[in-house]
Copies of this chain bind each other. A is one copy, B any other.
């Protein structure tokens, strides 16, 4: 259930979600290229359905179910974007969605989940409380759990970003994504290296939730990190299988401070003219923090989402 997907499964996911997901544009900015000293190709998943890449994985999971499973609905726990994505994906198949949300989640995201027709179940903001509430909903409804990142179908769905980006910008030398639970980073790594084993792969992580960087450095999964970052989409600890993929594919994870991320967020808004959420800006922050790793290269940069509360901007 949480095994890493094969490249074949990523390809299958691409076909499965094609009728529902958007092919998002790749945008450029001369000003940001000059600032980075590199050629940046921004994959704008803030323009994906639901405003985040998460729709890909959720949609692949929903349309992978057989009819009997589907009839019982789906359930997940999510700080926002995956929940919204699952709600939207369930709606494309006309089935029920239950979303367990931690207290303190971004208001705009919760409203979007409810607008998409899902049932919200609130719980305390701990991993244990989320999982307990999820199990309770599963018992009560028989709904299928679609985990935000430790799920083969979800990782395969997120991996379709790499397929699409490498078709739109075939000459890339490197790719960078944010790392939270690692569903995106692992799916992208598997797909990207299947297409081009020479691609250099990078991850960006908040310093206040740098468990993936610590785990890779130590050679063993670090689970003692207590997330302390404004990047609400990147507070999850990286999953075990996801971490395996980062290791296998030699993904270098760069940790950035919240201040660096907020500065990068403003650059993406003012120069690329894209509304991206704070978690999405970690990738540009990482490039600007360690420019020597990217200098002169053609870099695919995954902008993960654009769901923000305009009344509560972090500057």
Contact = CB atoms under 8 A, between A and B. Distances in A.
B47 A273 contact: yes
A27 B270 CA distance: 19
A273 B270 contact: no
Given A25-B25, A275-B275, A310 B47 contact: no
Interface residues of A, number: 22
Interface string A281-315: 00000000000000000000000001010110101
A108 interface: yes
Given A30-B49, A46-B273, A269-B310, 6 more contacts: A44-B273, A51-B273, A108-B270, A273-B276, A274-B275, A313-B313
Contacts of A46: 273
Nearest to A48: B273
Nearest to A275: B273
A266 B310 contact: yes
Nearest to A270: B310
A33 B68 CA distance: 34
A242 to B, nearest CB: 27
Interface of A: 25, 27, 30, 44, 46-47, 49, 51, 108, 266, 269-270, 273-276, 306, 308, 310-311, 313, 315
Contacts of A308: 270
B273 A306 contact: yes
A196 B140 CA distance: 58
A306 B276 CA distance: 14
Contacts of A311: 315
Nearest to A308: B270
A306 B15 CA distance: 35
Given A47-B27, A51-B273, A273-B51, A315 B310 contact: yes
